[in-house]
Amino acid sequence: MSTLTLTDLKYITPVSLSEQILSSPPATLPPNIAIIDVRDNDHIGGHIRGSTWVPSSELDYKTPELVRTLKDKDVVVFHCALSQQRGPSAALRYLREKARLDPESSTESKGVVKEGEGEGEGKKGGEGDAQKVYVLEGGFTKWQERFGEDKRLTEGYQKDIWEFGY
């Protein structure tokens, strides 16, 4: 059984994540970053550019596949609408499965990345660098408040859906 708990999770602010996305060519996500959107039927009204939608209802059988397909990513960010339950649960499930499949793997997952602290995050380092697993602070709700109408960062945004909040 894993000793990882919710208190071991690391959070990234929307501003820090946006800086990393904007560091890549337009319309692409940096190749070393994966953003996993675990919203279910509330996955409407927009999403973070380049994110992958894996409904939380499918995580039981998709997590081992995620661990394998994301193994070469330096940064993996999970989020749901508010990042209070599904996003953190998905990140924790991912970390536990990663540890189960590869006990020798190295993963960083504790703390909060604030604006300006993300400098150099997600850049390839030397061998043995730990994959960084984050939860997006405030989820897509906070993201869309700040970046919903920014087409460089958000795809498929529908303002009328978010106009009165989540």
- Whole-number percent of the chain with pLDDT over 70: 83
Q: Which of 17, 21, 38, 80 is catalytic?
A: 80
pLDDT digit string, tens, across residues 78-93: 999 999 999 999 999 9
**Do the bridges between strand 52-53 and strand 131-136 make them parallel or antiparallel, or are there none, so unpaired?**
unpaired
Q: What is the pLDDT of residue 121?
A: 43
Q: What is the pLDDT of residue 104?
A: 76
Quick one: pLDDT band at residue 56, thresholds 50, 70, 90?
very high
80 in catalytic set: yes
Burial class (CB in 10 A: 0-12, 13-18, 19+), 99: middle
Domain ranges for the chain:
6-160
The pTM of this model reads 0.84
Buried b (16+ CB within 10 A) or exposed e, 15-40: bbbbbbbeebeeeebbebbbbbbbbe
**Do the bridges between strand 154-155 and strand 47-48 make them parallel or antiparallel, or are there none, so unpaired?**
antiparallel
Q: Which residue has the higher pLDDT, 10 or 164?
A: 10
- CATH number attached to the domain at 6-160: 3.40.250.10
Lowest mean pLDDT among 28-42, 93-107, 117-131: 117-131
Quick one: pLDDT band at residue 112, thresholds 50, 70, 90?
low
